[in-house]
């Protein structure tokens, strides 16, 4: 059984391995041992913190194979971005160049540096090892965060965003950054991405062009990747679109990957979630004619979620689960669980 839970100190070797495997462009997991340790410490502090206002909390989850104990993926939630460190995007919009005298009318795309998502909740650090990219694992890793947000809404903002990894090759070369590097910077994409990942963002304010960039002045290769996602990221963005997330013209300042957004109460999983009291089956087996669902307990530091086939009652406020599932979710008779159909 695959179990999603908060990260622990003992998960450090697994997190380091994931940071190595994730490669270039995965800004939220820089290959830096001290910073990875700090991420674990910060997450554990966030889960234990009492608060009803989103601020600098970061919640990092891992997906564990309960049969082997192997950590096979990660996902995370940043409660509110940009409150203690600037959070940059380019916003893609249009300007009109027109002249009645010359009978000219031209709409031109521009990219403007902004901090418009300051204070938003961010979904981030989603990574699943190759051999586990099957079944319901990806949905569990991603969608269970919505159930966590739903159970602890006061800890999060009304707007939820997700930055999608943009186009780059196996060597970490980004066509968009290549153009920026040529005209404004003297560092390659992996270096700029790494510096951002470790929190050294001063160079952005110092070196980024302060005025809007006309998209038609970019190289053809750079123009082609604005708002496009990395091939490995396509399943993730399709999943988010299915949840109601939309692209409103905001792109990453390094690789021009799209950022998508949604209001918390409009997210499909949150709208579809039902709550039940636990009844533990004496037989110890699951119903065999059930449907695939996400099921999670209502705890904070003890949060657990998994994906199973389960028969969800059409009426009433109780659901029967096996002792094995109850143990995996760390719930007892009478506890509350949330369920969302898949």
Please identify which of the residues 24, 89, 152, 230 carries the catalytic annotation. Answer: 230
Rounded-to-integer distance, Cα 230 and Cα 24, Å: 11
> Helix crossing, 189-197 with 175-183: angle to 10°?
90
For 91-110, letters b (16+ CB in 10 Å) and e give: bbeeeeeeeeeeeeeeeebb
Rounded-to-integer distance, Cα 258 and Cα 226, Å: 8
Rounded-to-integer distance, Cα 57 and Cα 149, Å: 13
Rounded-to-integer distance, Cα 238 and Cα 225, Å: 18
Q: Six-digit token pair at 298? A: 């209502």
Q: Residues 29-33: contacts with CB within 8 Å, 24+ apart?
A: 29/74, 29/125, 29/127, 29/197, 30/194, 30/197, 30/198, 31/194, 32/194, 32/197, 32/198
Rounded-to-integer distance, Cα 178 and Cα 221, Å: 9
Dihedral sign for Cα 325, 330, 332, 337, please: negative
152 is catalytic: no
- Which residue carries 């040529």 as its tokens? 182
Q: Six-digit token pair at 263? A: 């209001």
Rounded-to-integer distance, Cα 113 and Cα 209, Å: 8
Rounded-to-integer distance, Cα 163 and Cα 257, Å: 7
Dihedral sign for Cα 6, 11, 14, 16, please: positive
Do 89 and 253 contact (CB within 8 A), yes or no?
yes
So which residues are the catalytic ones? 230
């Amino acid at each position: 059984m695959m179990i999603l839970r908060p990260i622990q100190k003992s998960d450090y070797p697994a997190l380091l391995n994931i940071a190595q495997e994730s490669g270039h462009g995965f800004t939220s997991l820089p290959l830096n041992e001290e910073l990875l340790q700090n991420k674990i410490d910060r997450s554990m502090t966030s889960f234990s913190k009492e608060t009803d206002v989103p601020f600098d909390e970061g919640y990092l989850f891992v997906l564990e194979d309960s049969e082997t104990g192997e950590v096979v993926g990660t996902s995370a939630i940043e409660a509110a971005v940009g409150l203690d460190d600037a959070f940059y995007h380019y916003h893609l919009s249009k300007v009109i160049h027109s002249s009645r005298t010359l009978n000219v009318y031209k709409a031109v795309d521009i990219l403007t540096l902004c901090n418009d998502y300051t204070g938003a909740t961010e979904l981030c650090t989603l990574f699943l090892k190759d051999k586990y990219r099957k079944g319901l694992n990806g949905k569990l890793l991603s969608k269970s965060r919505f159930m966590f947000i739903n159970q602890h809404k006061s800890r999060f903002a009304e707007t939820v965003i997700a930055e999608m990894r943009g186009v780059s090759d196996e060597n970490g070369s980004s066509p968009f950054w290549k153009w920026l590097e040529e005209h404004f910077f003297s560092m390659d994409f992996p270096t700029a991405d790494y510096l951002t990942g470790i929190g050294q963002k001063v160079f952005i304010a110092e070196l980024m062009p302060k005025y809007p960039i006309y998209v038609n002045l970019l190289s053809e290769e750079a123009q082609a990747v604005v708002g496009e996602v990395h091939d490995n990221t396509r399943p993730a963005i399709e999943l988010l679109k299915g949840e109601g997330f939309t692209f409103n013209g905001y792109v990453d300042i390094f690789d021009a990957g799209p950022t998508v957004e949604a209001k918390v109460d409009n997210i499909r999983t949150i709208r579809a979630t039902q709550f039940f009291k636990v009844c533990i089956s004496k037989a110890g087996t699951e119903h065999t004619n059930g449907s695939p669902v996400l099921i999670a307990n209502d705890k904070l530091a003890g949060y657990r979620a998994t994906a199973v086939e389960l028969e969800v009652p059409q009426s009433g406020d109780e659901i029967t689960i096996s002792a094995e599932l109850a143990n995996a979710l760390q719930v007892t008779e009478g506890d509350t669980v949330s369920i969302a159909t898949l």
